[in-house]
């Protein structure tokens, strides 16, 4: 395939690019056959062991055996989920006369994001200098009302070539469709996958985020909770004398085991609370209001929560920046740990927006954002509350 832009095609591609009608289809398989084959073989023996334990528990009607089998079944479901992700994950991008469509599938779960052709503005890979350090390159598709990402983790040369091919196709399709769109380059659309919403309430800028169910988070918390509490419950059963053929320990041994289990039981209760919070996520709401005379922040669960107030700055600044973690502190500013090592993958994609006053003192921080969310929210604040920041 030839393109009119001066970007060389890499010798080896991790994606396949095909013609699809009047447009293009880009497919990226994220399968890991090594992990898939290993887990398939390993699960064969593990499944037999789980079934044997359950069969013995049913036949003997022993509560101890039921408790003993819980962590084994928790590990079984966890590994099945990993196996599904290893053999079924893929990304698919289609660009045609209808618009841009990105489908992402991980195991049994998937989602599709769309931008109509008339709303599509540009497709590019941000320059390394324009993004935070240690941030993986990605193709960013800017629409009039939303922004969609594709190809995170691919090599930058391949992403640059794909973006050039897609951008040329976008221009060609929009030339066929009619006159060019109006110039709205000064507007920054929200990311397609964000949970944040914005609105103007009287004269205040209101940013709100409602929690939502995430299959990965619920599944992960469920596995950890069942695995941990299943193991702890076995020792509790021993303490209570429920182990077959064995009575409860007595004397100093009983008291030692009783006291020894307390911290593990407390951790188990904390995991149960975390699982409940993950399941109840849709009932959590976070609201920021940015007014001329006051900034307020409220986090509610089931509509109940306290309000924090901040004094708005004058002639300060609004910064979108990455969150990082030091060796002995919670996440803070910067892009590397104190010893200079790169951020862990779990934190490298976390960003924040800070409102800072004229004395360089932090007023408030909106944390745990993605890169696109942080840039969009900072853009909104600078546009709607220009008095906060000096030009």
The answer to whether residue 157 is domain-embedded is yes
The answer to whether residue 182 is domain-embedded is no
Domain that holds residue 158: 16-30+89-177
The answer to whether residue 172 is domain-embedded is yes
How many domains does one find in the chain?
2
The answer to whether residue 263 is domain-embedded is no
Give the integer Cα–Cα distance in Å for 198 and 97.
30
Highest mean pLDDT among 333-337, 338-342, 352-356: 352-356
Q: Are 204 and 329 in a shared domain?
A: yes
Give the integer Cα–Cα distance in Å for 217 and 222.
8
Residues 6+ apart with CB under 8 A from 84: 107, 108
Q: Are 148 and 204 in a shared domain?
A: no
- Give the per-residue pLDDT at 315: 84
The answer to whether residue 158 is domain-embedded is yes
Q: Are 25 and 146 in a shared domain?
A: yes
The answer to whether residue 222 is domain-embedded is no
Give the integer Cα–Cα distance in Å for 364 and 309.
9
Question: 281: which DSSP letter?
Answer: G
The answer to whether residue 117 is domain-embedded is yes
Q: Are 160 and 291 in a shared domain?
A: no
pLDDT digit string, tens, across residues 239-253:
888 776 677 778 888
Q: Are 161 and 204 in a shared domain?
A: no
The answer to whether residue 339 is domain-embedded is yes
pLDDT digit string, tens, across residues 81-139:
888 878 888 889 999 888 899 988 876 677 888 888 888 888 888 875 555 555 678 88
């Amino acid at each position: 395939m030839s393109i009119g832009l001066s970007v060389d095609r890499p010798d080896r591609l991790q994606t396949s690019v095909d013609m699809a009608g009047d447009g293009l289809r880009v497919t990226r398989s994220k399968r890991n056959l090594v992990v898939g084959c290993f887990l398939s073989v390993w699960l064969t023996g593990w499944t037999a062991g789980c079934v044997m334990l359950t069969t013995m528990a049913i036949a003997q009607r022993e509560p101890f055996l039921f408790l003993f089998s819980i962590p084994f079944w928790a590990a079984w479901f966890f590994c099945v989920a990993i196996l599904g992700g290893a053999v079924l994950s893929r990304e698919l991008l289609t660009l045609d006369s209808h618009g841009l469509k990105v489908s992402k599938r991980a195991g049994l779960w998937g989602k599709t994001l769309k931008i109509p052709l008339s709303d599509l503005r540009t497709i590019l890979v941000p320059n390394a200098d324009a993004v935070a350090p240690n941030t993986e390159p990605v193709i960013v598709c800017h629409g009039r009302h939303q922004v969609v990402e594709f190809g995170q983790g691919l090599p930058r040369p391949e992403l640059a070539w794909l973006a050039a091919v897609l951008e040329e196709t976008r221009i060609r399709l929009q030339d066929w469709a009619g006159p060019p769109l109006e110039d709205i380059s000064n507007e920054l659309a929200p990311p397609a996958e964000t949970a944040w919403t914005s609105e103007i309430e009287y004269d205040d800028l209101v940013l709100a985020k409602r929690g939502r169910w995430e299959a990965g988070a619920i599944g992960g918390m469920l596995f950890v909770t069942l695995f941990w509490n299943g193991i702890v419950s076995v020792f509790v059963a021993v303490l209570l004398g429920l182990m077959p053929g064995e009575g409860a320990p007595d004397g100093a041994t009983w008291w030692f085991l009783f006291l020894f289990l307390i911290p593990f039981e407390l951790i188990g209760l904390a995991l149960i609370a975390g699982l409940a919070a993950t399941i109840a996520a849709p009932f959590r709401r976070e609201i920021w209001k940015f007014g001329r005379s006051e900034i307020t922040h409220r986090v509610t669960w089931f509509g109940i929560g306290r309000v924090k107030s901040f004094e708005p700055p004058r002639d300060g600044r609004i910064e979108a920046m990455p969150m990082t973690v030091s060796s002995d502190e919670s996440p803070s500013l910067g892009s590397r740990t104190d010893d200079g090592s790169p951020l862990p993958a779990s934190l490298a994609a976390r960003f924040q927006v800070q409102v800072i006053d004229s004395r360089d003192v932090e007023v408030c921080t909106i944390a745990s954002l993605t890169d696109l969310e942080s840039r969009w929210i900072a853009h909104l604040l600078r546009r709607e509350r220009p008095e906060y920041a000096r030009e």
